[in-house]
A and B are shown apart, each in its own frame.
Chain A
Amino acid sequence: MFDFILSRYNYWIYIILMMIGLYAMIGKKNLIKKIIGMNIFQTAIILFFISTAAKRGGTLPIIEHAHGAHPIQAASYVNPLPHVLMLTAIVVMVSTLGVALAIVIAIYRRYNTLEEDEILNLKR
């Protein structure tokens, strides 16, 4: 049992991080804390994707002497595709963060607070 957890510790960390992020997004009242939660949530997904690409003893997926005579040993290289996907996902996440922060600035200018319950009181 302990071995089962320990040998896949990166996946457990991904799940724990994701739950922390989800809790912060839903449970916290402060809008900035919600955004931080959102970022933790997204980072957890990056960790998950990168974990799936790792291989024990794998090296960089750069093929020396390409177009070469010898066949490529896929097992000795780390899978590059999840990394590429995550590069794109990081771009998406940064833009989400940017939009969210811009909206928070607009909210702060209008209500002068970042606590959700205070804003709801002000709106009434």
Chain B
Amino acid sequence: MSLHSPVLAVVIPLICAFLALLFGWWRKNLCYPITLVALSSSFLASLNTLHTVITTGTIRYHLGNWNPPWGIEYVVDHLNALVLGIISCIILVVGVYSKRSVEQELPEKIVFFYTLYLLLATGLFGIVVTGDMFNLYVFLEIASLAGYALIAIGEDGAPLASFRYVIMGTIGACFYLLGVGYLYIATGSLNMADLSQMLPELYDSRVVLVAFTFFMVGLALKMALFPLHTWLPDAYTHAPSTVSALLAPTMTKVGAYVMIRIMFTVFKPDFSISLFPITSILGWLAAAAILFGSIMALAQVDLKRMLCFVVVAEIGYIGIGVGIANRTALIGAILHIVNDVFMMACLFLAVGAIVYKIGTRNIYRFRYLHRKMPLMMALFVAGGLSVVGIPPLCGFFSKWYLILGAFKADKWIFVAVILVSSLLNAILFFRVIENVYLEPPEAGRSLEEIPTDEAPLSMLLPMFVVVAGIILLGVFSGRIIDVVIQFAIPPSI
């Protein structure tokens, strides 16, 4: 079992996607249990993988027993075992949550929704575990195609937003594919481990430089790094609630993971840091992303759209950690990937529940929501405070490491950017909190008259899990770094 767990995490959702379509044809309500079974078994498989990696080290799984570099190889080390575990956990949690929201928003499309959901999960797991460049492209497109379709079934503006995402996403994926092609010309290999052995001799070659540039631009498009983020706010705002709650935490973070993988595993760190000025470009772009995202978020009235700009800013935090590129900052960046998955899931799930109950996302209509949905609003506030960076919630710790890393690298502007954006985030979330909790009651009406109308248990329970995750990740962040993340940083940094 433990031998095959990396491949099982990918294959089970893939097979169940077809089963969901087949059985959904017969009985519509079978899709939800099939999805849950598939996602929980991949979650167990990825936990098993994580456990094996922590106890025995890197797993190499040769598909069909073809030896690399000819066959496709799945390589799971500390970095992707962690990302796999976190992402499979969130996909499962959002899957549990999806039932009521999908029944309300997409009553006729339940079967297709769950089929695409499972395909998206397959794509994301595949991107994370694979050790082969071309295989990664295929999984990237599986995940993106499922994502396009899921976004397009949303509200009024969704098809156009999704169409723009298709165009931008295809350019990104094609650039990635071109990068793979250039590396293949230079080395004749597609295997990541093989490439990292062969490439150091070729670092002067212009072909390799072009390949690296193609990778960076393509992945910046996929992970929505400023100024290539333009598709993200529209697409995630108009998507169905569950879809935003699924895509916002996972898709961009997986893009960030691939970027780290290519910069520090396929290419050696000294190439990415000193031979090519990519880290400083990345750092400045990320700083711009943080400020732009936070300021644009301030201008939004729609809560979900505000959160979309927060996602742009959060990508900036990861980018800034990679851009500073010392050990502490990289720990911060990887920790932020983990934390951000939970924080964004919490916030977008809360928006989904609010839409489910009151049908609007306008912040100024949230008056007295704390009387109506006390638990849900408390959980939302916990997620918001974590994004602001209040200890002991997890958002504080990754920002702490990022700031420490910037101190060590003497990059004072980045320290300032992170601090300023934390203040902006505080304004953002306190604006929501003020509208919900602190507005005075209308004349002649007391707060006690408003009846409690809490979201259903299938929505509350996932939210509780996510918020528990936010708190636990914060409290045990030191332990996570000691056991996993410190081995994920390449030793030469």
Residues of A within 8 A of B (CB): 22, 25, 31, 34, 38, 41-42, 45, 48-49, 52, 81-82, 85, 88-89, 92, 95-96, 99-100, 102-104, 106-107, 110, 116, 119, 123
B167→A92 contact, CB < 8 A: no
Q: Is the CB of B141 within 8 A of A96?
A: yes
Nearest CB of B to A94, in Å: 11
- The reply to whether B163 and A31 contact each other, CB–CB distance below 8 Å, is yes
Binding site for A on B (CB under 8 A): 134, 137-138, 141, 145, 148-149, 152, 156-157, 159-160, 162-163, 166-167, 170-171, 174, 177-178, 181, 184-185
Q: Is the CB of B159 within 8 A of A103?
A: yes
Report chain A residues within 8 Å CB of B159.
103, 106-107, 110
Chain A residue nearest to B149 in the complex (CB): A99
- A106 and B166 within 8 A (CB): no
- In the complex, the answer to whether A48 meets B157 with C-beta atoms within 8 Å is no
Most B CB atoms within 10 A — which of A38, A45, A96, A104?
A96
Find the A residue at minimum CB distance from B70: A81
The verdict on A88 contacting B138 (CB below 8 Å), with A41-B174, A52-B184, A110-B156 known, is yes
Contact of A25 among B138, B145, B171 (CB under 8 A): B171
CB-CB < 8 A to B178: which residues of A? 45, 48
| Residues of B contacting A107 in the complex (Cβ-Cβ under 8 angstroms) | 159-160, 163
A49/B166 contact (C-beta < 8 A), A103-B159, A107-B159 known: no
| A103 surroundings in chain B (CB, below 8 A) | 148, 152, 159, 162-163, 166
Taking CB atoms, residues of chain A closer than 8 Å to B163 are 31, 34, 100, 103-104, 107
| Contact call A96/B170, Cβ cutoff below 8 A | yes
A85 touches B148 (CB 8 A): no
26 pairs from A and B in contact (CB 8 Å cutoff): A22-B171, A31-B163, A41-B170, A41-B171, A48-B178, A49-B181, A52-B181, A52-B184, A85-B134, A88-B134, A89-B177, A92-B145, A95-B141, A96-B141, A99-B148, A100-B148, A100-B163, A100-B166, A103-B148, A103-B152, A104-B163, A106-B159, A107-B159, A107-B160, A116-B160, A123-B160
Assuming A45-B178, A96-B145, A99-B145, is B138 touching A38 (CB within 8 A)?
no
Q: Which of B148, B149, B152, B174 has the most CB of A within 10 A?
A: B174
Alpha-carbon distance A96/B171, docked complex (angstroms):
12
User: In the bound complex, what is the Cα–Cα distance between A103 and B148 (angstroms)?
Assistant: 9
- In whole angstroms, what is the CA distance A77 to B166 when docked? 38
**Could you tell me if A38 and B156 are in contact, using CB atoms closer than 8 angstroms?**
no
A38 and B170 contacting across the interface, CB-CB below 8 Å: yes
Pair A34/B167 contact, Cβ less than 8 Å: yes
B235 vs chain A, min Cβ distance (A): 11
Q: A82-B184, A110-B156 are in contact. List 17 more A-B contacts (CB 8 A).
A: A38-B166, A41-B174, A42-B174, A45-B174, A45-B177, A48-B178, A48-B181, A82-B181, A88-B138, A89-B137, A95-B145, A96-B145, A102-B152, A103-B162, A103-B166, A106-B159, A107-B160
Bound CA span A96–B148, Å: 9
Which residues of the partner chain A approach B174 to less than 8 Å between Cβ atoms?
A: 41-42, 45
